[in-house]
Amino acid sequence: MTKTRGYAALAARAELAPFEFERRALRDTDIGFRIDFAGICHSDIHQVREEWGSALFPMVPGHEIVGTVTSIGSKVTSFKVGDSIGVGVFIDSCRECTNCLNGLQQYCLEGMTGTYNGYERNSQNVAFGGYSNYFVIEEGYAVKVPSNLDPAGVAPLLCAGITLYSPIKHWKVGPTSKVAVMGLGGLGHMGVKFAAALGAEVTVFSHSAHKEADAKAMGAAHFIVTKGDDWHKPLRKKFDLILNTVSADLDLDPYLSTLATDGTLVIIGLPGKPYAINAGTMLDGRRSIAGSMIGGMPELQEMLNFCGAKSIVSDVEVIKADYINQAYERTVASDVKYRFVIDASSF
């Protein structure tokens, strides 16, 4: 067992505070690593605040984890001490179902084992996440981090990055695509960078007018402020793919009206309440609504390699642990540029 320092919420909606706990002793196929940086995902906030239903406390959130390997189990073959390592939204899965065998561990038929807010697989051990200074991960659920990238900017790739990369790949975004990204936050800004890197014409739908210059610097060609009743009318039937990363409840209908014939709006943001769908808008143009959740282990590594080759990282504001609660407030207020990342040496 290894004594570990982190930050936890002791109860739903409580402020996060310093917290000590033990990580499990290394098994043969485990890797122990010092956490260097941990991103703050809006999903952390949803769970601390029980916006998705009841949660497990004390909770150490954090599923965008980058670190440096400090020890390996006797059967570990793909990592050595000193390597850069990343862990994302899940730490295990059944490894036997068709989805796991196809590298879609996020859709494991038995349910993926989340990095926190639950138990380690087939165990009574609470899974504590990345807002901490040390981690233990089974080798098959860790990825290699390209050495040319700034590790603080890499941390958000482990959730925000893969969550946009996966649908962008699945819906085959390329140079002829017209893509719109809803919400320029942690996830959305990665969607802009990836779609632009693949040659698409990217539009950002934002309710924050002041983000326009940033969006364009990230690769967006157009920036639409979604204020008033008419913003969507000039954009009718324009986009092949809309990536909805908005964390708040929203009327989807104006956005759906901007989908081209056979276009798809992918739901990625996960607010607590169901969406209302206007059947007429869906019928007109054979439009689709789909969903997408993070990505599997092979795609996570593919995304990091793509980022290494293209020098893509997240735009981050690095903070110390004692700023986490303020970072939560600023994230909820859409005041994020464009991901808060905790310097884990401050735990």
Query: Considering the rule CB under 6 A, would residue 8 count as an interface residue with ligand NAP?
Result: no
Cβ nearer to ligand NAP, comparing 32 with 114: 114
CB of 196 to ligand NAP, least distance (A): 16
Member of 29, 70, 278, 334 binding ligand NAP (CB under 6 A)? 334
Residues in the chain: 347
Encoding tokens for residue 316?
Answer: 């981050």
Question: From the list ligand NAP, Zn ion, none, which binds 293 (C-beta under 5 to 8 Å, kind-based)?
Answer: ligand NAP
Least Cβ distance, residue 64 to Zn ion (angstroms): 6
Q: Which residues contact 316 (CB under 8 A, 6 or more apart)?
A: 39, 152, 153, 155, 156, 338, 339, 340, 341
208 touches ligand NAP (CB under 6 A)? yes
∠ CA 292-296-299 to the nearest 5 degrees?
100
Amino acid at 196: A
Do the strands 126-127 and 134-138 form a parallel or antiparallel pair, or are they unpaired? unpaired
When asked if residue 327 is in the footprint of ligand NAP (CB under 6 A), the reply is no
Kindly tell me which of 246 and 344 has the beta carbon lying closer to ligand NAP. Answer: 246
What are the backbone dihedrals phi and psi of residue 318, each rounded to the nearest 5 degrees, phi first?
-85, 130
| H or E, element range at 202 | strand 201-206
What's the half-sphere exposure (Cβ side, CA atoms, 13 Å) at 12? 10
Comparison of 198 and 294: residue with beta carbon closer to ligand NAP: 294
Is residue 87 close enough to count as binding ligand NAP by CB under 6 A?
Answer: no
Radius of gyration of the chain (CA): 20
Residue 266: beta bridge partners? 243, 290
Does residue 209 interact with ligand NAP by CB under 6 A?
no
Residues near ligand NAP (CB under 6 A), total:
32
Regarding 314 and contact with ligand NAP (CB under 6 A), the answer is: no
Comparison of 46 and 121: residue with beta carbon closer to ligand NAP: 46
Site string for ligand NAP, 164-183 (x = CB under 6 A): -------------------x
Cα first-last separation, the chain: 18
Residues numbered 225-284 forming contacts with ligand NAP, rule: CB under 6 A: 245-248, 250, 268-271
CB 130 within 8 A of CB 154: no
Select the residue interacting with ligand NAP from 16, 38, 87, 187 (CB under 6 A).
187
The residues binding ligand NAP (CB under 6 A) are: 41-43, 46, 159-160, 163, 183-188, 206-208, 211, 245-248, 250, 268-271, 292-294, 331, 334, 336
